[in-house]
């Protein structure tokens, strides 16, 4: 399934890569078009600047006493019509003495005329300039060729020099304006290029994000469909929930992961013993048993059940009969303190791995899973994985429940594994109420239940205590383990699965808490009962030799 999902992911990513490449090609064409427009604009501006430079050179060598260069005619006309030019400025008003002399002259002319009884001569106009050249345009915006020639003829040498400078200044201003326009166009083109690059990068980012969302959605849909079809998840109220089959498969994966770190002898022991060659026909319990499927019987069972196909309920297999039967009780402390530092999750994984190891070696084994805080509950694997942390630790009631489960068992191998992180904190009174806060009473109850449980024979007991800085926790756990003639292992959360599997495989603990000062030696753990001889079966229930 992982390979198919990976192939789906790769195919979808290739499709989106082609889509993104096409989008980027469109942005590339737009960038090329912008570059072409920029180049054409710069070439046009360079040509205009070159022409202005040439006109400026001709303006500097302009001779107004000759025929004006036709290329500079418009600048000359514009300069001649400037209102602030000296030739368009009215002559200055006469000064005070000039007005007094004019008045005296008019008075003398008047007296002479009065005495001589004759009219005085018409006064000559005062010396001054001619009419402004701007009047020659007749109110228009340009001078006619004749008016232009007349205007140039009226100019004096200084005025011609002024006119030449004004023509040069006009061309220089045009050149400066053109350069500013060129710089503005260049900046605008650069801004458009940066905006296009930013838009391209944003489009790439959006496309990649969309591709990731699309791929994730497709993967989720594919996984959801396949996991649902395989019965690993189920849909409830529109949401996916974990099924027992998925937790069981997860347990097998945890076991395979932990087995790689086990010693060689432990790995070999987890595979089980040799074949007895004695089989019985039974219902399918584990997916691994499908290799021993009795196809004819399964088809008949399916037809009798009104089904067209074989399923788990109608599958019959040949299961090997072993002489040793196991009954294992797994007890998990789910008190509130177990939620700290990931201890509860690590303990759940360890118990799942041990569950898978027991089921692999003994397919017919009885496995009971307990979770205890103030109360004790018997759970399946799914409930074990989903159980939350609770309140206080009622170790005595957990041992009492294990005793009730094991006392009537006919198994030849009985084992109890308890994972906890502290000492008993609560107990169940004789009236059935749970009381907490009295640590001495809780410890006394736990030891009493341990003594009751020690009557189970044979029984192998292992208590795994998660390391703590409080020495009271280890002393309390040691007393319980001694009462049950069992083992105590003090370890870290990450090594819980390793320690459990080593003990199930018959190994010795690799980590032990230091013995209390002055305490008697710990008793040797009770050895496992040797498996008896295989039971005889009828010839029609035999397969193989």
Residue pLDDT, tens place only, 178-215: 899 889 988 998 899 899 889 888 888 888 888 888 88
Instruction: Work out the number of other CB atoms within 10 angstroms of the CB of residue 346.
Output: 19
Question: What is the rounded average pLDDT for all residues in the chain?
Answer: 82
Residue 13 reports pLDDT greater than 80: yes
d(CA 300, CA 476): 58
Which whole-number Å values give the CA distances from 154 to 69, 132, 158, 195, in the listed order?
19, 10, 12, 59
In terms of pTM, does the model score above 0.75? Answer: no
Domain ranges of the chain: 2-86+143-206, 248-274+324-504, 279-320
pLDDT at 118: 53
* CA terminus-to-terminus distance, the chain: 38
Q: Are 332 and 351 in contact (CB under 8 A)?
A: yes
Spatial CA neighbour of 222 closest among 11, 433, 41: 11
**Closest by Cα among 133, 127, 125 to 89:** 133
Tens digits of residue pLDDT in 430-471: 898 999 989 999 999 999 999 999 999 889 999 999 998 888
Q: How confident is the model at residue 380 (pLDDT cuts 50, 70, 90)?
A: very high
* Bigger pLDDT: 14 vs 394: 394
What number does CATH give the domain 248-274+324-504? 3.40.50.410
At residue 44, does pLDDT exceed 80?
Answer: yes
Closest to 487 in 3D by CA, of 496, 478, 495: 478
CA distances for 37 relative to 33, 40, 42, 241, 295, angstroms: 6, 5, 9, 61, 79
Report in angstroms the alpha-carbon separations of 336 from 228, 348, 388, 418. 34, 15, 9, 17
Q: Could you read off the pLDDT of 206-226 as tens digits, one per residue?
A: 888 888 888 888 888 888 888
Burial 349-370 (b: 16+ CB within 10 A, else e): bbbbbbbbbbbbbbbbbbbbbb
Tokens coding 311: 């399923």
- What b/e readout covers 154-193, taking b as 16+ CB neighbours within 10 angstroms? bbeeebbebbbebbbebbeebbeeeeeebeebeeebeeee
Q: Output the pLDDT for position 416.
A: 96
Sign of CA dihedral 152, 155, 158, 163: negative
Place of tokens 């529109």: 238
In the predicted model, what is the mean pLDDT of residues 83-108?
A: 78
Token pair in block for residue 166: 């004004």
Q: What is the pLDDT of residues 322-333, one digit of tens each?
A: 667 899 999 999
DSSP H or E segment with residue 466: strand 460-466
Closest to 88 measured CA to CA, from 137, 140, 126, 145 = 137
Q: Greater confidence, 524 or 367?
A: 367
Residues 226-265 as b or e (16 or more Cβ within 10 Å = b): ebeeeebbeeeeeeeebbebbbbebbbebbeebbeebeee
Lowest mean pLDDT among 107-111, 356-360, 513-517: 513-517
What's the rounded Cα separation, in Å, for the pair 417 and 331? 6
Q: What is the SS3 assignment for 426? A: strand
Distance CA 315, CA 282 (A): 9
By mean pLDDT, which of 136-145, 260-269, 281-290, 520-529 is the weakest?
520-529
């Amino acid at each position: 399934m992982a390979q198919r999902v990976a192939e789906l992911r790769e195919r979808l990513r290739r499709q989106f890569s082609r889509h993104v490449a096409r989008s980027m090609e469109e942005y590339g064409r737009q960038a090329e078009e912008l570059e072409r427009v920029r180049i054409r604009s710069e070439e046009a501006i360079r040509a205009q600047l070159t022409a202005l430079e040439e006109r400026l050179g001709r303006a500097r060598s302009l001779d107004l006493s000759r025929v004006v260069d036709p290329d500079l005619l418009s600048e000359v006309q514009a300069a001649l019509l400037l209102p602030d030019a000296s030739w368009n400025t009215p002559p200055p008003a006469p000064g005070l003495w000039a007005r007094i002399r004019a008045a005296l002259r008019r008075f003398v002319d008047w007296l002479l005329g009065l005495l001589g009884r004759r009219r005085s001569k018409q006064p000559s106009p005062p010396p001054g300039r001619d009419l402004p050249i701007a009047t020659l345009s007749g109110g228009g915006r340009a001078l006619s060729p004749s008016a232009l020639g007349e205007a140039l003829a009226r100019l004096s040498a200084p005025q011609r020099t002024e006119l030449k400078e004004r023509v040069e200044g006009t061309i220089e201003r045009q050149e400066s304006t053109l350069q500013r326009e060129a710089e503005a166009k260049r900046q605008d083109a650069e801004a458009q290029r940066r905006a296009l690059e930013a838009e391209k990068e944003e489009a790439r980012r959006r496309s990649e994000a969309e591709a990731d969302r699309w791929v994730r959605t497709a993967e989720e849909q594919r996984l959801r469909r396949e996991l649902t079809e395989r019965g690993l998840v189920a849909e409830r109220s529109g949401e996916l929930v974990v099924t027992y089959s998925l937790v069981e498969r997860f347990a097998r994966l945890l076991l395979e992961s932990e087995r790689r770190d086990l010693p060689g002898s432990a790995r070999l022991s987890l595979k089980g013993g040799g074949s007895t060659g004695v089989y019985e026909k039974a219902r399918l319990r584990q997916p691994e048993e499908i290799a021993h499927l009795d196809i004819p019987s399964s088809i008949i069972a399916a037809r009798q059940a009104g089904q067209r196909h074989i399923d788990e309920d109608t599958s019959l297999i040949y299961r090997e009969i072993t002489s040793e039967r196991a009954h294992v009780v797994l007890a998990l402390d789910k008190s509130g303190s177990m939620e700290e530092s990931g201890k509860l999750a690590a303990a759940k994984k360890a118990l799942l791995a041990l569950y898978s190891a027991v089921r692999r070696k003994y397919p017919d084994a009885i496995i009971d899973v307990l979770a205890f805080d103030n109360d004790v509950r018997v759970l399946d694997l799914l409930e074990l994985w989903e159980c939350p942390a609770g309140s206080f630790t009622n170790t005595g009631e957990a041992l009492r429940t294990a005793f009730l489960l094991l006392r009537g068992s006919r198994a030849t191998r009985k084992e109890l594994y308890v994972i906890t992180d502290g000492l008993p904190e609560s107990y169940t009174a004789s009236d059935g109420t749970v009381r907490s806060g009295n640590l001495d009473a809780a410890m006394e109850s736990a030891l009493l239940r341990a003594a009751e449980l020690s009557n189970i024979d044979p029984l192998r007991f292992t208590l795994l205590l998660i390391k703590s800085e409080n020495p009271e926790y280890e002393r309390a756990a040691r007393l319980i383990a001694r009462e049950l003639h069992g083992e105590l292992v003090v370890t870290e959360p990450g090594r819980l699965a390793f320690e459990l599997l080593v003990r199930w495989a018959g190994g010795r603990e690799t980590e032990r808490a230091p013995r209390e000062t002055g305490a008697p030696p710990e008793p040797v753990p009770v050895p496992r009962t040797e498996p008896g001889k295989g039971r005889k079966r009828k010839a029609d229930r035999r397969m193989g030799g």
